[in-house]
Structure 1
């Protein structure tokens, strides 16, 4: 930091302000949106009537996710999310999932599958632009701004990497459960109070850098910990304090670093210091804007899984993945077939 952005580090970006009063983020987000032809000011941001997803509801607002009992499952019994091929069905599913993730009545045990379903839908649609356009035409109007920002973020990350250089091996990572969401939010807000950097920006950086702490490993650039600090950056005066791998310490340090790089005057400048790419800043601010507009959007993002864009497809690395050295994709899939995307769930 500044550091190169390794092609395999595709988290929920994998793996980035309230349009209602978030002056710090509003201008850069709108500029990025207009450049992409998806100005959220042109689409309503109000939430739709959940009755729009009634055809998928099992009880109030809880969608029936597509399933196939023949698919292999991870240790927790879940399979790779399926993505309907029909654009109208996909739009109805996505709207129902977005609603359920924000509904306080949704059981906690349903959230991991809902979040993963949301994530995979956006990852697929970011690649498949004709399908994405058809889905958009079928979405309830209240979800269009949310939809546009998710795709803006994901496509911004895709623009940072070459699609003809996807790896044939998987990294030496451990995938761990993230810290509790309440604990993370407390750390984000404490950092905001100490530095003035919006907590939603810190949440978005945490999401795209490590899946909110799921990845335990060192990047090819030697970045470490949940906020992916280079040890040399951590050692800069006034930046790193405590443990580079501790979630709370790393979040506080990230806020201080963004201030050091000019983030209080222009958050885009601060994010450029974090990763030298306009696409990176555009993506982080898009995710941050979703959280600022509706903090409940963070629930879905928190439940995103670790995905790895390999030559064999968009592989899911669930909690429990552990490699002390890189492993060939073919060898991994023989042991963990649930990592492989079913037809239609990879996007490429």
Structure 2
């Protein structure tokens, strides 16, 4: 694995110095490994909130005797959407307010994702602003709940059954990964870059699934945890490289002659390695071979389960940002 600290590098430099970084020490394929803490919790992107409300046409007032030509009749008013969340706004502390914020954020994110899939092109370009900001807010909320277990328990009780189940999976996964992180002092430079378009990655995941029989959702969850879908480009302190964080020796055995830095090659190698390690018959065994930590295994499986339940969760995770845990607190490296 490697260091988790990159998100969508939309307006940030490709290389940034962080005063302190969080490294989680796990063991990767029998070797110590530093994993980048991909901020698997709540999206904390950094752009001022902008209005996302749909513009509505206000009908012109008319006198009782006045008629309005049919061609001039106003369009029916659209239901206004809430303003987009401000990534710097304080997270509510009260469980009831947290539950309302999470419920509204998830509902709006699903709607914005549907619009993106239907009217946009997830296979090209950057995600639309509503998806980025709402996914970021979702990540921020889950991250807050992961760090506050008692508040999280009280918040779950105020959510719908389905959203409570989703929240528990995400918060548990984030908490597991945070448990592997050890904030340290010092300076470190991290290279980040934008991820490949969401549907380009989806095509690679599904091709690897067809070739090796490993569920594409598992591959997506591994890449999400490892490098936030390829946004983190720095090697780990042990020398693991590329979007799937392979050690050179493991790559020589399973890379099939490909390029360790190439997204498609790395995904095929990961599927090849997981298949050789027991997948799909025993995903827990295979994932433990990939990274010797049961907390890691559980986190990957929880995220994969959410993607399987609703593909919109894949698009949400795609827009979660990269964090570094420092001795001075969390720092986000990518996002708006």
| TM-score over 0.5 for the pair | yes
How has the CA–CA distance of structure 1 residues 63 and 86 changed in structure 2, closer, same or farther, with 3 Å as cutoff?
farther
Distance in 2 (CA, whole Å) between partners of 1:219 and 1:62 is 42
Offset of 1:142 from its aligned partner? 2.4
In structure 2, the gaps of 5 or more residues are 1-27, 43-50, 55-78, 121-127
Of 225, 245, 248 in structure 2, the residue corresponding to residue 208 of structure 1 is 225
Question: SS of the residue aligned with 2:230?
Answer: coil
Question: SS of the residue aligned with 1:172?
Answer: strand
Of 92, 103, 127 in structure 1, the residue corresponding to residue 100 of structure 2 is 92
Distance in 1 (CA, whole Å) between partners of 2:322 and 2:143 is 12
Of 149, 159, 172 in structure 1, the residue corresponding to residue 169 of structure 2 is 149
Cα RMSD for the two superposed structures: 2.3
Alignment of 1:120-269 (within 5 A): 120-161=140-181, 165-236=182-253, 238-269=254-285
Offset of 1:267 from its aligned partner? 0.6
How has the CA–CA distance of structure 1 residues 277 and 81 changed in structure 2, closer, same or farther, with 3 Å as cutoff?
farther
Offset of 1:240 from its aligned partner? 3.9
Query: Residues 180-227 of structure 1: CA distance to partner in whole angstroms, max 9, x if unpaired?
Result: 000000000000000000000000000000010111111011111111
Query: Residues 269-313 of structure 1: CA distance to partner in whole angstroms, max 9, x if unpaired?
Result: 110111001111100000000000111111110001110111111
Query: Residues 57-110 of structure 1: CA distance to partner in whole angstroms, max 9, x if unpaired?
Result: 94559543553xxxxxxxxxxx54531222222211111221222221368221
Partners of 2:85 and 2:137 within 8 A in 1: no
Of 294, 316, 327 in structure 2, the residue corresponding to residue 311 of structure 1 is 327
Q: Which moved more, 1:286-295 or 1:151-160?
A: 151-160
In structure 1, the gaps of 5 or more residues are 16-55, 68-78, 320-337, 339-348
Distance in 2 (CA, whole Å) between partners of 1:276 and 1:170 is 27
Verify: 1:116 aligned to 2:131, yes or no: no
Offset of 1:131 from its aligned partner? 1.3
Counterpart in the other structure of 2:115: 105
Aligned length: 264
How has the CA–CA distance of structure 1 residues 252 and 62 changed in structure 2, closer, same or farther, with 3 Å as cutoff?
farther
Of 279, 295, 298 in structure 1, the residue corresponding to residue 295 of structure 2 is 279
Distance in 2 (CA, whole Å) between partners of 1:10 and 1:81 is 22
Distance in 1 (CA, whole Å) between partners of 2:144 and 2:278 is 35
Question: SS of the residue aligned with 2:243?
Answer: coil
Distance in 2 (CA, whole Å) between partners of 1:175 and 1:88 is 36
Higher helix share: 1
Partners of 1:218 and 1:224 within 8 A in 2: yes
Query: Residues 92-150 of structure 1: CA distance to partner in whole angstroms, max 9, x if unpaired?
Result: 11112212222213682211111111111111111111211221122122211101100
Q: Which moved more, 1:87-96 or 1:174-183?
A: 87-96
Counterpart in the other structure of 2:24: none
Query: Residues 157-187 of structure 1: CA distance to partner in whole angstroms, max 9, x if unpaired?
Result: 12324xxx41223532211111000000000
Q: TM-score, normalised by structure 2?
A: 0.73
Verify: 1:64 aligned to 2:56, yes or no: no
Distance in 2 (CA, whole Å) between partners of 1:276 and 1:143 is 30
Counterpart in the other structure of 1:20: none
Distance in 1 (CA, whole Å) between partners of 2:175 and 2:228 is 17
Question: SS of the residue aligned with 2:331?
Answer: strand
